[in-house]
């Protein structure tokens, strides 16, 4: 097909008319002009369609390649992620197994710790029970000793200290089951505090003072005649010289001195005293020593009886000591009189106080120990 444009100037054979024009016998005036463009349009339209189809196919292929490439990349990334996920899952499974093993070990240790805790609780309860029993046994022993000392020696202070120590020890335990024992201890302490006070220490100190004075107390056998007070020789000589000058004064002074000395000697030869026992004046130094020591022993026995609250022995020893002092010692001496006064003060003290017992506290402790 020749697509060259028609030149009106050039001669060419007329184109064959279409059948419709031949049938009509006459062609339209503008048909000749529209036919070449129509032909071209009919040729260009398929080409354009083919070009569009090719362009669409190329674009689709390009997109398909991009999609394949993206899909391949995504698949590759998914494979790597999948492999990483598998590794993580594998490590997680291994960690889970390790944790499970550790949990099993912890559970076994927990069971073991619980069993040990139960054993320790039982052991602690046994130890606490034994400790309470030991404490009650010690308290019972202390109270028993304090009760014996209270009845035998009247040691009120020692019994109070024992009761207070027992109450303090029970208060540290802080257990309600000890309330009954503490009430009994409180009642016994009130009984002891209500007793009249006896100054045992003061009485003992007075007896010690008397014992210390025995060695310096004069015996009847130790008494010596007292010399009369006389003026000094120089003073008498001065007075005589002032009265009688010369040799007459000297002679008179010598006579007066000799006569006064002789008279004093004569006065000391005979002395009358009223002594109940003659043996007191005939004591030898050895007998005097034993007399003093026997008096000390009497007073020491009285002191011991005082501390043990043995009133009968205390008073009998004091009476015997006073008899010894009155028989062998000089009653006119100041030390002897002071000693007798101290002994009378000690003897006037009242020791006959009925001591209470600690049976209530001991009974409470023993009843608690008997309980299961």
Q: Does pTM surpass 0.85?
A: no
Is residue 203 within 8 Å of residue 346, measured between CB atoms? Answer: yes
Evaluate if residue 235 carries a pLDDT over 70: no
Is residue 353 within 8 Å of residue 154, measured between CB atoms? Answer: yes
Q: What would the DSSP string read from start to end of 277-324?
A: -GGGGG--HHHHHHHHHHHHHHHHHHHHHHHTT-HHHHHHHHHHHHHH
What's the confidence (pLDDT) of residue 17? 45
Sign of the torsion formed by the C-alpha atoms of 183, 184, 189 and 192? positive
pLDDT in tens, 291-303: 889 899 999 998 8
Rounded-to-integer distance, Cα 217 and Cα 211, Å: 10
Is residue 327 within 8 Å of residue 319, measured between CB atoms? Answer: no
What's the confidence (pLDDT) of residue 3? 42
**Domain 108-196+357-370, CATH:** 1.20.120
Evaluate if residue 101 carries a pLDDT over 60: yes
Domain residue extents for the chain: 108-196+357-370, 200-250+257-266+279-347
Evaluate if residue 267 carries a pLDDT over 80: no
| Both structure tokens of 150 | 């209270």
What's the confidence (pLDDT) of residue 300? 92
Percent of the chain exceeding pLDDT 90 equals 2
Nearest to 357 by CA among 170, 196, 154: 154
What's the confidence (pLDDT) of residue 6? 40
Rounded-to-integer distance, Cα 201 and Cα 352, Å: 17
Evaluate if residue 9 carries a pLDDT over 70: no
Lowest mean per-residue pLDDT among 25-39, 126-140, 142-156, 214-228: 25-39
Lowest mean per-residue pLDDT among 64-73, 126-135, 163-172, 220-229: 220-229
Q: What would the DSSP string read from start to end of 69-81?
A: HHHHHHHHHHHHH
What's the confidence (pLDDT) of residue 141? 87
Nearest to 307 by CA among 149, 193, 200: 200
What's the confidence (pLDDT) of residue 279? 58
Between 104 and 196, the more confident residue is 104
What's the confidence (pLDDT) of residue 301? 92
Reported confidence tier of residue 71, pLDDT bands at 50, 70, 90: confident
Rounded-to-integer distance, Cα 166 and Cα 276, Å: 59
Reported confidence tier of residue 258, pLDDT bands at 50, 70, 90: confident
How many CB atoms within 10 Å of residue 335?
14
Between 13 and 159, the more confident residue is 159
Evaluate if residue 108 carries a pLDDT over 50: yes
pLDDT in tens, 166-182: 888 888 877 788 888 88
What's the confidence (pLDDT) of residue 19? 47
Residues facing 219 on adjacent strands: 329
What's the confidence (pLDDT) of residue 228? 43
Rounded-to-integer distance, Cα 197 and Cα 353, Å: 10
Between 134 and 233, the more confident residue is 134
Between 189 and 176, the more confident residue is 189
What's the confidence (pLDDT) of residue 68? 86
Rounded-to-integer distance, Cα 59 and Cα 171, Å: 101
Query: 3-state DSSP call for residue 329?
Result: strand
Mean pLDDT of 11-21: 44
């Amino acid at each position: 097909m020749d697509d060259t444009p028609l030149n009106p100037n050039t001669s060419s054979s007329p184109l064959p008319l279409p059948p419709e024009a031949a049938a009509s016998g006459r062609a339209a005036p503008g048909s000749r002009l529209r036919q070449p463009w129509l032909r071209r349009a009919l040729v260009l339209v398929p080409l354009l369609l083919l070009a569009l189809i090719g362009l669409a196919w190329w674009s689709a292929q390009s997109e398909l390649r991009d999609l394949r490439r993206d899909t391949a990349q995504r698949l590759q990334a998914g494979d790597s992620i999948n492999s990483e996920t598998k590794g993580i899952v594998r490590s997680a499974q291994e960690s889970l197994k390790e944790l499970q093993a550790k949990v099993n070990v912890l559970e076994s240790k927990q069971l073991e710790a619980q069993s040990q805790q139960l054993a320790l609780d039982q052991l602690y309860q046994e130890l606490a029970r034994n400790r309470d029993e030991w404490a009650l046994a010690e308290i019972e022993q202390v109270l028993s000793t304090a009760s014996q000392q209270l009845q035998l020696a009247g040691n009120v202070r020692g019994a109070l200290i024992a009761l207070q120590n027992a109450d303090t020890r029970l208060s540290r335990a802080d257990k309600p089951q000890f309330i009954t024992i503490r009430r009994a201890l409180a009642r016994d302490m009130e009984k002891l505090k209500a007793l009249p006070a006896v100054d045992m220490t003061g009485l003992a100190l007075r007896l010690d003072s008397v014992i210390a004075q025995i060695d310096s107390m004069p015996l009847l056998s130790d008494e010596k005649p007292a010399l009369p007070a006389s003026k000094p020789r120089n003073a008498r000589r001065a007075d005589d010289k002032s009265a009688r000058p010369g040799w007459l004064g000297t002679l008179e002074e010598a006579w007066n001195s000799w006569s006064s000395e002789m008279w004093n000697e004569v006065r000391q030869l005979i002395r009358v005293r009223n002594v109940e026992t003659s043996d007191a004046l005939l004591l030898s130094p050895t007998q005097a020593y034993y007399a003093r020591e026997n008096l000390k022993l009497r007073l020491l026995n009285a002191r011991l009886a005082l501390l043990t609250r043995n009133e009968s022995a205390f008073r009998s020893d004091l009476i015997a000591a006073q008899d010894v002092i009155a028989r062998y010692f000089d009653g006119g001496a100041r030390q002897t009189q002071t000693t007798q006064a101290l002994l009378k003060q000690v003897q006037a003290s009242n020791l006959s106080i009925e001591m209470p017992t600690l049976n209530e506290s001991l009974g409470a402790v023993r009843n608690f120990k008997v309980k299961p």
